[in-house]
Amino acid sequence: MPATSSLIYSPFSTAVFEDPYPVYRRLRDEAPVYRDPEQRWWVLSRFDDVATALRDWETYSSKCGPAPENPDEDGRKYSVISMDPPRHDQIRGVLKGFFTPRAVAALENALQAVVTHHLDRLRPGTTVDAMEAFAFSIPTDVIGDLLGVPAADREQLRVWWEQFLTRHEGEVAMPRSAIEANRKISAYIGDLIESRRTRPGDDLISIVLQATFNDPDTGGDRSLTPHEVLMFCNLLSAAGSETTQKLISNGLVALHDHPDQWQRIVGDPSLIPAAVNEALRYDTPSHWVARTLTRPVELHGVSMAAGDWVLLLLGSANRDERRYEEPDRFVIDRPRGTDVYFGWGIHICLGQWLARREAQLVFEYIARNFPNYAIGARERVLTATVRGYTSVEMSLGSGA
């Protein structure tokens, strides 16, 4: 019997989802190139292997999409996240100036306004569901404002995205509810795009609609096709909110579980940017991304064939003891180098600076106004790749 016979890893298991870190450790130690028992994919779990694969897009291609249960074809379903260069770079390039640190700094007042609007409603001495009270709505409003989604429609869009990502125990195929939710999202965003064609504004949809780039296939400048616009805007609306909701709530739970670290923040809020990075590492929202191989790869004595799916376990790489000292501890000011919680290489998260700033503003507000908050019961939702909560009981203490 091989030593790894009892090591079973499934990304679609509630038990794994509840606490994936013990099985991640076993994967790193016992089977750094792990074969799914049903031969559907390989799994890489060590930091160095994941980081190398993320950088090597020529071998680890994104063309078949970000998830093996629902393959894409060169971005037809999920835009840039399932494209390789040169097309990836052209379409991503349309918005590259919009999400830089400087561009996010220019949004500071707008971000402050969204955060204060939601958090000013909290009262000392009460207990709230942090998800319902602010963690769902802050990222949804931020991306809603950027895309120009009417305020009244945002909660509906958020619920559709949650339905799209939700999976059932042990089922790899996308459930009907997810397919149906995806159809509704596309129809909704499609209508929004049509209204911007006739009445452009200064929102992201109008920018994407008006953008042109040089297309090497035709040799001339062109704008995005209606389908490309739809898929890009769909991706932004999803990527912009689900993950950031989880970052905010996972971070507040982790800091509650590490009171010494939280007290340091309360005493010195300048530590918050580093604490947000640590929250991203310690309990990362995006647990894996997928690639397909364009050529055979030999790694740790194992041969993977061209065309095979490979899951890159960001959640495990972030806890790799070969890369991080005492990885299972939340340490605000641990030394930083390359980190892969936003991916790495050409697909590194476009919205990383925006997501960080949203979480920083929330942590700043809570540290100032509710330094004695406490976390109670929480409930998770099983999703395809994004790990976090759907409800988190939060007692707001007696205030500052």
Residues forming the site for ligand HEM (CB under 6 A): 62, 66, 80-81, 92, 143, 235-236, 239-240, 243-244, 247, 285-286, 289, 314, 341-343, 347, 349-351, 354-355
Min separation Cβ 93 and ligand HEM, Å: 10
**Residue in the shown chain whose Cβ atom is closest to ligand HEM:** 351
Residues paired with 392 in a beta bridge: 378
Min separation Cβ 86 and ligand HEM, Å: 13
Contacts of 76 (CB under 8 A, 6+ apart): 82, 227, 231
Pick the closer one to ligand HEM by CB: 10 or 90.
Answer: 90
Exposure string over 277-316, b if 16+ CB within 10 A, otherwise e: bbbbbbbbbbbbbbbbbbeebebeeeebeeebbbbbbbbb
Pick the closer one to ligand HEM by CB: 9 or 288.
Answer: 288
Min separation Cβ 192 and ligand HEM, Å: 16
Min separation Cβ 397 and ligand HEM, Å: 26
Min separation Cβ 204 and ligand HEM, Å: 8
Pick the closer one to ligand HEM by CB: 288 or 396.
Answer: 288
Using CA atoms, how far residue 71 sits from 79, 81, 161, 186, in Å, is 12, 12, 18, 17
Pick the closer one to ligand HEM by CB: 84 or 129.
Answer: 84
Using CA atoms, how far residue 284 sits from 203, 318, 351, 387, in Å, is 29, 8, 15, 7
Min separation Cβ 344 and ligand HEM, Å: 8
Pick the closer one to ligand HEM by CB: 142 or 375.
Answer: 142
Pick the closer one to ligand HEM by CB: 142 or 396.
Answer: 142
Q: How does DSSP classify residue 44?
A: E
Residue 134 is which amino acid?
A: F
Structure tokens at 345: 């290489």
- Do residues 208 and 95 touch, judged by C-beta distance below 8 A? yes
Three-state DSSP at 223 gives strand
The continuous run of DSSP H or E covering 361 comes out as helix 352-369
Pairing of strands 220-223, 288-293: unpaired
Min separation Cβ 254 and ligand HEM, Å: 13
Pick the closer one to ligand HEM by CB: 182 or 396.
Answer: 182
Give the whole-angstrom CA distance, residue 318 versus residue 327.
8
Min separation Cβ 153 and ligand HEM, Å: 18
CA atoms within 13 A on the CB side of 343: 22
Give the whole-angstrom CA distance, residue 37 versus residue 237.
35
Pick the closer one to ligand HEM by CB: 324 or 342.
Answer: 342
The continuous run of DSSP H or E covering 374 comes out as strand 374-380
Closest CA to 246 of 309, 308, 161: 161
Question: Where are the strands (E) in 39-183, listed by range?
Answer: 42-44, 60-61, 127-129
Pick the closer one to ligand HEM by CB: 4 or 186.
Answer: 186
Pick the closer one to ligand HEM by CB: 165 or 350.
Answer: 350
Q: How many residues does the chain have?
A: 400
Structure tokens at 13: 């298991």
Min separation Cβ 341 and ligand HEM, Å: 6
Min separation Cβ 90 and ligand HEM, Å: 11
